[in-house]
Amino acid sequence: MTWTAQLVRKLPRERLIEYIIEVLGRMGFKNYERVSDRNRWGIDIVAIRDDPIAGMEKLIIKVHTDSLVSAKDINVFGDLLDKYKADRGIIVAPVGFTKDARSTVAKEYRGRIVMWDADKLAVTFSNYGIEAPTIEEAKEKDEEKSPLEEFELDAPLLYEFSPEEITNLIAKKASAEYPVKPSEIRIKSMKVILTSAYILSWSVDEKNERDKAVVFSKEKVIPKALSSELATLVKKALLNDTSKIKATEREIVNPISPSESVVILKERLAKELSVTEGQVRIQDRKKVYVPESVEVELQVGENEGKAKVNPVTGEVEFEMGPLPEGYFKETVRELVKKRTGEEPVEIELTKGGWKVKATGKTERFVFEFKFNAYTGKPLVAETLLTDEALKELLSKEYPDGEILSLEKGKKVAVADVKLRDGIVVVEVNLENGTLKEVRKLPSPEEALENARKIIEDNFPLRNLRLIGSRVIEHKFLELELEGEGGRAVVKVDGATRDILDYIVEISPEKARELVKEKYPDFEVKEVWEEEASYVVTAENERHVVKVRVSKDGKLVEETDRALRENVARAIALEKIRGIDETAELKSLGLEKDWIAEFQGGTKVGTLVLDRKTGEVKKTDVRFTEVALENRFHEHVRKIYGETELRTERLTHYKEQNYVHIKVAGREHFYYARIDTRTGKIISEDRAPMKGLTAKLKQLQLESKYK
């Protein structure tokens, strides 16, 4: 049967807790136990796991089966996390969670409180291999016939007797001392030993005292029962004349007779009250039974145990030994035979703690079982077809087939087998060796036709042929094709034979051809490969171009175009000679555009030429210092009639694009600031050479034209 949310909701609370504890063991929690008193602790399970990465992890679990879990329930559980210093908590609610509860967890307890509803439980039980019970199994378990019979007693019971409570006490004791779950314990026989006692009504008139006494034996007498803890029990017993108990056997012990009870009480009261026995009056006497002990024989899983319970004090003695080795060997034989159809050829048992591990092999299988040493319950049951047997099975089933791939899981192996008419996908149950075909895929040759047509119709590849193939995920075919112009990898749906995906990669030679087709007047020079494309360079008499060609050959785009260097050089010389006839080209380089630096007799500078057309985009031209000096000398001679001039200082401020010049004449100094780009005088001054006033004037101009 399969786990469903509906099945989880039908589980009794006790059985649900048992399944959760079993999951914890399979999750890797080595220390986990059910709390002894849920009402006092507020939780059901505590578990500890030593994770090699996360370290020690403490987990608490609360099972809530009555109704939807509310936000208040979440907050109460959150307080318990802090109280018990737990790392995380799981709150289990098969009925579900309110919207507010989910919101509270998301906002305040994200990562600390995990919610398991019926859907989550069903998935978890399935994932960890917990076998789902059938509804009928659950009913049979609940309706199992009890071996107890009802016995009628001729007197009432002083203490209440409940077989269910006795069973619960035993189950609690057994679970604490042995790896036993309460649901695994069944009553085989229950012998109740009853002792008789007497309730006597007495009075001593001289002392004005009266009460009820309970006489159990000569040694045990409760003279004033109505003022003791037995008051309620005595009053209740006096209201009944008979009683009934459920057991498989009863035994009644009479430690004293009715008459002896009177003598014992009168002696006791006379001594305690300092009166004579004659002063003690007995008005009434009633026999009651006291359940002194219960001897129980138990069925604990496949084992047996014994318990002795004092129903009055709740004390329990429980004893049970582990099952013998022979039981486990016989059980393993039956399980292996049932699952594989083969007899074990060897079985080896090892014991560790409360577990028994059985390993061995059959002709074709190896197996491993783990059992609870005390209950015989299988904890792990694994049979596995050996690799040799698996290959032999496939070879026997498909003698003419070729195994393309074989993937082994924990319980199932999946093989892709190539046959003459296609590829068959086979699942082999490794637990029992059964084989079934799950699907049929076309052969690579069948799938080739459609794949080739799609690729050749859409990409610059021709005459593709199949050079390799493989099966992917046991559902798809991957075809490796190669032909004129490059190669392709095509993914084909095995069921429909449609193309699902493809990767096309043209060759470098094909990239060269595509560029040549687009640029017939260019000669292709270089081809180099990048991650997703080729970069091709080509040139003609005037230009050099770079072209990017996508690996699939669909995109051919120009990424750069520049003048050839000899063309750019000729254009640059023409431009600079137009500026200065004597200019020479000092350097020419291609950056974003062509950069040409020149120097002439009167001017120097830089031209920026468009990389594609050679048009001048920017000029930076300046007069030479010699030219500026000569122009200023000429200016002074023309304006002031000087015939003998001597330059004393020329300072060039390149960043500001001007020079300061000081020239000495016959009787004056001449100062100027000249623009280096235009040769124009921005400002000029002069000062006489001699005299006090001349000195002051010179100081001012030296500062201005420093």
Range 648-668 average pLDDT:
93
Confidence (pLDDT) at 398:
95
CA dist list (Å): 103 to 106, 113, 320: 5, 12, 49
DSSP at 459: S
Q: Which long-range contacts (CB under 8 A, 24 or more apart) does 509-518 make?
A: 509/485, 510/460, 510/461, 510/485, 510/486, 510/553, 511/536, 511/549, 511/553, 512/536, 513/485, 514/460, 514/549, 514/553, 514/556, 515/547, 515/549, 515/556, 518/547, 518/556
Q: What is the DSSP string of 374-436?
A: TT--EEEEEEEE-HHHHHHHHHHH-TT-EEEEEEE-SSEEEEEEEETTEEEEEEEETTT--EE
As a whole number of angstroms, the distance between CA 538 and CA 44 comes to 80
H-run or E-run covering 339? helix 325-340
Q: Which pLDDT tens digit goes with each residue over 184-228? A: 999 999 999 999 999 999 999 988 999 999 999 999 999 999 999
Q: Above 50 in pLDDT, residue 139?
A: no
Percent of the residues in the chain that have a pLDDT greater than 90, as a whole number: 83
As a whole number of angstroms, the distance between CA 10 and CA 534 comes to 66
Length of the chain: 706
Q: Which residues contact 518 (CB under 8 A, 6 or more apart)?
A: 547, 556
Q: Which pLDDT tens digit goes with each residue over 275-316? A: 999 999 999 999 999 999 999 999 999 999 999 999 999 999
Percent of the residues in the chain that have a pLDDT greater than 70, as a whole number: 98
Residue 679 has which token pair? 């040769």
Q: pLDDT class for 29, splitting at 50, 70, 90? A: confident
Q: pLDDT class for 130, splitting at 50, 70, 90? A: confident
What φ, ψ does residue 473 adopt, rounded to 5°? 55, 20
Confidence (pLDDT) at 621:
93
Q: Which residue in this structure is represented by tokens 């330059």?
A: 647
As a whole number of angstroms, the distance between CA 333 and CA 348 comes to 12
Q: Which pLDDT tens digit goes with each residue over 64-82? A: 987 889 999 999 999 999 9
Q: pLDDT class for 136, splitting at 50, 70, 90? A: low
Q: Above 50 in pLDDT, residue 472?
A: yes
Q: Which residues contact 175 (CB under 8 A, 6 or more apart)?
A: 34, 181, 182
At 670 the three-state DSSP class reads strand
Helices within 88-134 (DSSP H only): 99-108, 118-127
DSSP at 530: -
Q: Which long-range contacts (CB under 8 A, 24 or more apart) does 566-569 make?
A: 567/541, 567/542, 567/543, 567/614, 568/594, 568/596, 568/609, 568/614
Range 478-482 average pLDDT:
97
Question: Among candidates 48, 56, 59, which has minimal Cα distance to 111?
Answer: 59
At 298 the three-state DSSP class reads strand
Residue 100 has which token pair? 């507010």
Q: Above 50 in pLDDT, residue 249?
A: yes
